[in-house]
A and B are shown apart, each in its own frame.
Chain A
């Protein structure tokens, strides 16, 4: 029994299920394999070149950031008294800072220039008086041995740079060595004129930026040094860093944070990345023209088919949807392969560059290309938007096809 005409017009079946439309769109693409392949190749090249260049730009930025910032956490704030004669980083000041909200952890450091003597060679060095908290706040990469423990007094660890300056390349050979440190205590309110003592090397860390020796902070306190050189504070989160810094600065201290440097690096690379993306856009323009051509030709070729579908009961807007889906399919496939191939290309070049650097004596492994998830998403999003813009006119025309005229066409 056929239902009444009035009710059927409003029944639940009103539009083509998207899965069906997608299937038809897919069939249309594979029906013209070569054309679809060439169009997708264009998109692959366009998206691929943008992705490749941007991932290079971001990778380079990250590489530079890592080199400059090293292992400092972006949640950390470094506090110094600066050149002020009145405000000192003494125990009272330290307690005030510790009492502020959002201070998660803190450490205190002494920094003095000194000289290092090992096996008869002598060299200038920077001596840090640190506590275990410092080790927690600064991620130090241990090459050999261990860091300082709570009970340590006459133990020390040094960086590879300090070892290099005295002619030792193998960190294993440094472990257990005795070193003599001489640290003049000028311009400091203290009873002693200098610290001269012997320490036992317990560890070597991976850093070649100058010569650095780390000894327990206690050694400076015992010598009567009252004011700390630096306090390091870890904020609860990166978002708290800004307000916390303002509060600390209102106490009269100077603060610095790796965020400052990161901001500067980002600013430079933002410009650099825009230029890189600009080169990629050239490839993209060619891809867009190819895609527009494909969709326009498809529209002309299939005018009759579209007319037929409308005559058989498709809504005009379904035909618009069909074209948009076809463009989205092209975009998606192109973006997926573009990103994938650019990623693989980046990996390959990275491997080549690393082996080249390795041959020239660089031990550290580096990543020249960064492929953050947001960049991949952004590439897909960008291609979708481009696809929508490109398909706008063909889809609009597909939605306006008059079935009578279309079927009359030869």
Chain B
């Protein structure tokens, strides 16, 4: 089945000037993301993931190259149009949950709807639906800051889904969660793809999630490489093999050390 290309990244580079030193977190990145797929951008810390995430979420214009969403260069839009694009098309889930402290859970979830011009009542209705999707509706009137990390992350996902976005971008959404809660969030993300036809972009350094992906983008030292899932799974196997070898090597080191007088 031929899927429509939704996001086309071409020749993307980013440069910073820090203390007279030029940093290039991204160099000539190229990849495309297809409609209604689960994409994982992975790479170790410092690889340029965060920069890629910022560029994809419409917050930071690249030094060179283009990001086309449905054929339109988002960095050619006016500031207001770009803000509207963020509120309307993107749902973003962060590693740490950020909240407007003075507002309750429901109002925080309704936030992107407010930015689209919805009245409080209409926004509350849609926000409630989003909370029901993640099973957090009973916390609607509570303050989000007193909830557990897992609960906060699910509410963060509800906020990302409130406007029924086409794209859900998740930045290490399980980074601060235990496996159980992490899996719940991942399950919800998968659900977004299958049930609500969202295109998912997951940014992570955690290789565990590779099997969830339809498409993988590996970033290392500012360079990107696209992998098919089969290749990725193979890569995962390699990583597991590497890890086993490494564990074995370390065990041998310890054993050798123990035999010394």
Task: Of the listed stretches B38-46, B78-86, B173-181, B185-193, name the one at the interface; the rest are far from the partner chain.
Answer: B78-86
**Chain A 394-410, CB within 8 Å of chain B: the 1/0 string?**
00000000011001000
Task: Of the listed stretches B115-123, B214-222, B231-239, B246-254, name the one at the interface; the rest are far from the partner chain.
Answer: B115-123
The winner among A23, A310, A311, A313 for most chain B CB atoms within 10 A is A313
CB-defined contacts of A17 to chain B, threshold 8 Å: 114, 117-120
* Count of chain A residues near B, Cβ 8 A: 38
Is the C-beta of B100 less than 8 angstroms from some C-beta in chain A?
Answer: yes
Chain B interface size, as a band, is 35 or more
Docked-complex contact A404 and B117, CB < 8 angstroms:
no
Docked-complex contact A304 and B98, CB < 8 angstroms:
yes
Docked-complex contact A311 and B88, CB < 8 angstroms:
no
Docked-complex contact B120 and A312, CB < 8 angstroms:
no
Is the C-beta of A16 less than 8 angstroms from some C-beta in chain B?
Answer: yes
Nearest CB in chain A to that of B94: its residue: A407
Is the C-beta of A64 less than 8 angstroms from some C-beta in chain B?
Answer: no
Q: How many A-B residue pairs have CB under 8 A?
A: 108
Q: In the complex, what distance in Å separates the CA atom of A17 from the CA atom of B72?
A: 28
Is the C-beta of A12 less than 8 angstroms from some C-beta in chain B?
Answer: yes
Docked-complex contact B166 and A315, CB < 8 angstroms:
no
Docked-complex contact B86 and A12, CB < 8 angstroms:
no
**Of A4, A5, A6, A404, which one neighbours B60 at CB under 8 angstroms?**
A404
Docked-complex contact A31 and B117, CB < 8 angstroms:
no
CB neighbors of B among A280-339 (8 A): 304-305, 307-316, 318
CB-defined contacts of B72 to chain A, threshold 8 Å: 5-6
**Of B57, B80, B92, B120, which one neighbours A20 at CB under 8 angstroms?**
B120
**Chain B 31-71, CB within 8 Å of chain A: the 1/0 string?**
00000000000000000000000100101100000000111
CB-defined contacts of A352 to chain B, threshold 8 Å: none
Docked-complex contact B85 and A312, CB < 8 angstroms:
no
Docked-complex contact B98 and A407, CB < 8 angstroms:
yes
Docked-complex contact B84 and A313, CB < 8 angstroms:
yes
Is the C-beta of B154 less than 8 angstroms from some C-beta in chain A?
Answer: no
Known: A27-B102, A305-B101. A5 touches B86 (CB 8 A): no
Q: In the complex, what distance in Å separates the CA atom of A9 from the CA atom of B81?
A: 5
Is the C-beta of B77 less than 8 angstroms from some C-beta in chain A?
Answer: yes
Q: In the complex, what distance in Å separates the CA atom of A304 from the CA atom of B100?
A: 9
Q: In the complex, what distance in Å separates the CA atom of A42 from the CA atom of B111?
A: 32
CB distance from A185 to the nearest CB of B (A): 84
* Interface of A (DSSP majority class): helix
Q: In the complex, what distance in Å separates the CA atom of A106 from the CA atom of B49?
A: 92
CB-defined contacts of A21 to chain B, threshold 8 Å: 114
Docked-complex contact B98 and A305, CB < 8 angstroms:
yes
Is the C-beta of A186 less than 8 angstroms from some C-beta in chain B?
Answer: no
CB distance from B58 to the nearest CB of A (A): 9
CB distance from B202 to the nearest CB of A (A): 17
Nearest CB in chain B to that of A12: its residue: B117
Docked-complex contact A5 and B114, CB < 8 angstroms:
no
Is the C-beta of B112 less than 8 angstroms from some C-beta in chain A?
Answer: yes
Q: In the complex, what distance in Å separates the CA atom of A5 from the CA atom of B77?
A: 11
Docked-complex contact A13 and B94, CB < 8 angstroms:
no
CB-defined contacts of B79 to chain A, threshold 8 Å: 315-316
Nearest CB in chain B to that of A29: its residue: B102
Known: A6-B72, A9-B81, A404-B59. A31 touches B102 (CB 8 A): yes
Nearest CB in chain A to that of B164: its residue: A2
CB neighbors of A among B90-113 (8 A): 90, 92, 94, 98-103, 107, 111-112
CB-defined contacts of A403 to chain B, threshold 8 Å: 59
**When A and B form their complex, which 3 residue pairs have the shortest distance between CB atoms, in order from nearest?**
A313-B87, A13-B117, A31-B102
What are some 15 contacts across the A-B interface (CB < 8 A)? A13-B117, A15-B117, A19-B120, A21-B114, A24-B114, A27-B102, A307-B98, A308-B98, A308-B100, A310-B83, A312-B112, A313-B84, A313-B87, A314-B87, A316-B83
Known: A308-B98, A407-B98. 5 other contacts (CB 8 A): A20-B118, A21-B114, A30-B102, A312-B92, A313-B83
